[in-house]
A and B are shown apart, each in its own frame.
Chain A
Amino acid sequence: MTRLRLLSAGLAFALPLVLVGACVSESDRAPTTFDCPPAADWPVVSAVLEHDCGTIECHGAPSRPLRIYGRNGTRASKDSAVGVEATTDEELAHNRDSVCGLEPELMTAVAAGDAEIEALTVVRKPRLFEAHKGGRVWVEDSHGLACFASWLGGTVDVGECETQLQLP
């Protein structure tokens, strides 16, 4: 009888562990990475995001998701002031990490042509396909969107990016 009780208690303890273990598969543990387009192409794309999204009351604020550092937003270093020094290399790297790290699986799918660019939150929000406090920032033929899409596609259309930067 005592042996039976011990066996029951052991089972009661072990069963949940087995069940919990079953929820964690190898694929869940594997890191998901996105082969972020080269940093060399990033500065002009970052400049567009800083211009369109990264002002200090929006994604340039430290409390905002998808934080964008830069000249017009919160600075990554206390040595730089808002609106004074140009965006630093450190800030460019942070911005690239923000964008590439937001939805790496989806971004991989978009870059591979397996999903539409509108699947990305970073596009859905400014297109206002999803509620966005900042409203509609990009329409279908916006130069900013074309710039971002070209970067994701592997070849930055610098002309589109610079055209967007000329806009107020």
Chain B
Amino acid sequence: MKPTGIAGTSALAALLALVAPSCESPVEDERIAAQGPELPNVEEGPEHRYGQDCMACHGGYGPGPEFVMAGTVFATPDGDVPVQGAVVVLTDAVGQTFRSTSARGEDNSGSTNCAGNFFIQASDFEPQYPVHVEVECPLPGGGTRRVVMGSRINREGGCGFCHTRGPASSTSPGQIYCLTADSQDIYTVPGGCEGGPSPSGSR
């Protein structure tokens, strides 16, 4: 018996309804939920959620604009002070080198902003993994300190996925930083920044 048009359409709708939920990922949902809510008075934008796992929402599954790589650079291994103006340099498996300042994305100068955040969009660069990473940290007194990541990145574009806040532990290399803990006072919290810590360091 051949289904009528309505019955056929209903069957198709029912089938799609069954298939659609299978696109959801409880693992990714959990990853997003783990980031928690936005901080009060910080709107969604380049300065929000500093130090978090950016790609939870910006990796293509979540609600944010899609990035290929994003993260936050801090002054020291266990401090809260972000570094503004750091340049992230990527070299991928086929030898392409990309400086984050080459980024063309909207609202993105490429170097880390006042919250220490940087992000790279697919329109800027699509690396072939594995990727080697270096960070050029501007020193407040002038000059640059080059920080080289000890291992390659094999697949994860979200720095905060591995580099959780605080110092290194048995499960994380700790936050990305420019200087050792002894250098705590060299950098100061940028003023007039919506995201990042407050200048008093209380956030």
B153 in contact with A72 (CB, 8 Å) = no
A56 in contact with B155 (CB, 8 Å) = no
Q: How far is the CA of A35 from the CA of B91 in the complex (A)?
A: 40
Which residues of A31-82 have CB atoms within 8 Å of chain B's CB atoms? 51, 53, 55-58, 62, 71-72, 74-75, 77-82
What is the number of residues of chain B that contact chain A, defined by CB distance less than 8 Å?
Answer: 21
A83 part of interface (Cβ distance < 8 Å): yes
**Residues of B near any A CB (own CB < 8 A):** 91, 129-130, 132, 150-156, 161-162, 167-174
Sorted nearest first, the 10 A-B pairs with minimum C-beta distance are: A57-B156, A81-B168, A168-B132, A72-B151, A75-B170, A83-B173, A82-B173, A56-B162, A78-B170, A58-B154
Q: How far is the CA of A78 from the CA of B170 in the complex (A)?
A: 5
What is the number of residues of chain A that contact chain B, defined by CB distance less than 8 Å?
Answer: 24
**Residues of A near any B CB (own CB < 8 A):** 51, 53, 55-58, 62, 71-72, 74-75, 77-84, 133-135, 137, 168
14 A-B pairs within 8 Å (CB atoms) are namely A53-B154, A55-B151, A56-B171, A57-B161, A58-B155, A72-B151, A75-B171, A81-B173, A81-B174, A83-B173, A83-B174, A84-B168, A137-B154, A168-B152
Picked from A51, A74, A77, A135, the residue with its CB within 8 Å of the CB of B151 is: A51
A57 in contact with B153 (CB, 8 Å) = yes
